[in-house]
Amino acid sequence: MAGGGRLRDSDITYLLLQEVLVLYIIQLTLLVACLAKFNTKKRKRGLGTIKYDIISRIPDQEKHLARIIGTNDMDCIANLRMDRRTFRRLCRVLRERGGLVDRKYVTVEEQLAMFLSVLAHHKKNKVVRFDFWRSGQTISRYIHVVLGAIMRLHELFLPKPVAVTEECTDPRWQWFKGCLGALDGTYIDVMVGSSDQPRYRTRKGQISTNVLGVCDRNLRFTYVLSGWEGSAADSRILRDAIRRPHGLKVPKGYYYLCDNGYANSDGFLTPFKGVRYHLKEWGPNSGRPQNKEELYNLRHSKARNVIERAFGILKMRWGILRSPTFYPIKTQNRLIMAAFLLHNFIRTEMPIDPVELQFDDLVQENQGFGNELEHEEYIDTVVNSPQWNASRDALAEAMWLQYSNGA
């Protein structure tokens, strides 16, 4: 202060700066208080759970994924139904040919692991979200992304049918030269609206879809048709399959084994009706075959049982096939198809299928008979054929002649 009580310019500037600083401190204090109140409300939401940002969750996400695919094959098989080598190979196929890419925070490995967890154990979105430390939206998005990638590779995962040749020494198949495998339908429970339930209701009252499956001797499916209602007859579904532009192709001169739910026609060989057939009817105390029809049915049943085994292993492997899901019916059918395709991939890549080992009475299938088929003329009708009935009678007669001679 100079003489006469007047303030100097420097003093005025100092006081102004002091007031500005005080106002800044007050505003900063209010801002901190607001942020603290906001975080308190955030912590109180969700039954006391604390919301973490995505960066803070990365270590837990990586730790959980490493426990599944980075520890040992036993844990990987238990969680994802395949060993670590098969899982890595599937990731590479989906990257190179399926269009999957690593995202900023979600790798292809984690995307696939989330999808396989849903397929193998039928886990709900909330459970997978908790296991993988992800949001429900992230889980839902990548389930559909991986599903789309697998469906795009359906031709890669479906093997070509291979016929039984003259050189076949397997006693189950050596009588069925030209056979491509076996086919049958299976019911898989689905969830549909109340207005659609009558069409999907089976004879036993379940709401299901009737899935046509065609498999080879190695328990791999060569053709799958999903989407038909549970009330549809097996023969009707087969007729639809062979008439589709990209449906089931049966070359002339070759055939599949099937049960009496189908017509004995060109390309489809059935057992004799009114004669014991199923393997459970041929127990230790059932006696030997008494005629050519019984002998034929016994051998036909032993060979055709491959499709029953394939369905059993498939449903044991994928929990989502054992109970209905809450996805739209179109998505449910795509998930069913993905289960069949991944079953084939596992059967091809893993030398020993751990699920098959759970069947006490199963025997490993022989590999690699014959050559892949290349034909342009295919069967396009399924009607009872007198010529085909005569061929079946001749085959049964040849079996019985050899059997009677003790060969």
pLDDT at 78: 92
Whether pLDDT at 5 is above 70: no
Adjacent-strand bridge partners of 211: 186
Domain end marker among 136, 152, 168: 152
Q: Tell me the pLDDT tens digit for each residue of 328-369.
A: 999 999 999 999 999 999 999 998 888 887 754 443 433 333
Q: Please check whether residues 202 and 116 belong to one and the same domain.
A: no
pLDDT at 280: 74
Q: How is the chain split among helix, strand and coil, in percent rounded to 5? A: 50, 10, 40
Q: Please check whether residues 373 and 274 belong to one and the same domain.
A: yes
pLDDT band, residue 24 (cuts 50/70/90): confident
Q: Please check whether residues 325 and 233 belong to one and the same domain.
A: yes
Question: Residue 336 burial by CB count (10 A; 0-12/13-18/19+): exposed, middle or buried?
Answer: buried
Instruction: Give the C-alpha separation, 143 to 157, whole Å.
Output: 19
Mean pLDDT across 43-66: 61
pLDDT band, residue 58 (cuts 50/70/90): low
Q: Please check whether residues 189 and 331 belong to one and the same domain.
A: yes
Tell me which of 281 and 329 has the higher pLDDT. 329
Q: Please check whether residues 187 and 148 belong to one and the same domain.
A: no
pLDDT at 146: 97
Mean of per-residue pLDDT scores for the chain? 85
**Looking at the domain assignment, is residue 397 inside a domain?**
yes
pLDDT at 195: 94
Whether pLDDT at 375 is above 70: no
Q: Please check whether residues 270 and 354 belong to one and the same domain.
A: yes
Lowest mean pLDDT among 4-13, 81-90, 171-180: 4-13
pLDDT band, residue 401 (cuts 50/70/90): confident
pLDDT band, residue 18 (cuts 50/70/90): confident
Tell me which of 146 and 41 has the higher pLDDT. 146
Instruction: Give the C-alpha separation, 183 to 60, whole Å.
Output: 46
Mean pLDDT across 394-399: 85
pLDDT band, residue 399 (cuts 50/70/90): confident
Q: Domain total for the chain?
A: 2
Q: Tell me the pLDDT tens digit for each residue of 59-83.
A: 777 887 888 888 899 999 999 999 9
Q: Please check whether residues 110 and 199 belong to one and the same domain.
A: no
Q: Please check whether residues 352 and 317 belong to one and the same domain.
A: yes
pLDDT exceeding 70 applies to what percent of the chain? 83
Q: Which residues contact 103 (CB under 8 A, 6 or more apart)?
A: 111
Whether pLDDT at 389 is above 90: no
**Cα 43 off chain centre by:** 39
Q: Please check whether residues 134 and 233 belong to one and the same domain.
A: no
pLDDT at 370: 35
**Looking at the domain assignment, is residue 21 inside a domain?**
no
Helix axes 136-152, 84-96, angle to 10 degrees: 80
pLDDT exceeding 90 applies to what percent of the chain? 60
pLDDT at 54: 58
Distance (Å) of CA 358 to CA 280, 309, 313, 354, 367: 19, 11, 9, 7, 20
Q: Please check whether residues 135 and 185 belong to one and the same domain.
A: no
Q: Please check whether residues 110 and 189 belong to one and the same domain.
A: no
The backbone torsions φ and ψ at residue 385, rounded to the nearest 5 degrees and listed phi first, read -120, 125
pLDDT at 355: 86
pLDDT at 3: 47
**Looking at the domain assignment, is residue 354 inside a domain?**
yes
pLDDT band, residue 243 (cuts 50/70/90): very high
Whether pLDDT at 47 is above 60: no
The amino acid present at 128, given as its one-letter code, is V
- Read off the tokens for 245: 């532009």
Domain encompassing residue 122: 54-152
pLDDT at 374: 46
Tell me which of 317 and 67 has the higher pLDDT. 317
Whether pLDDT at 282 is above 90: no
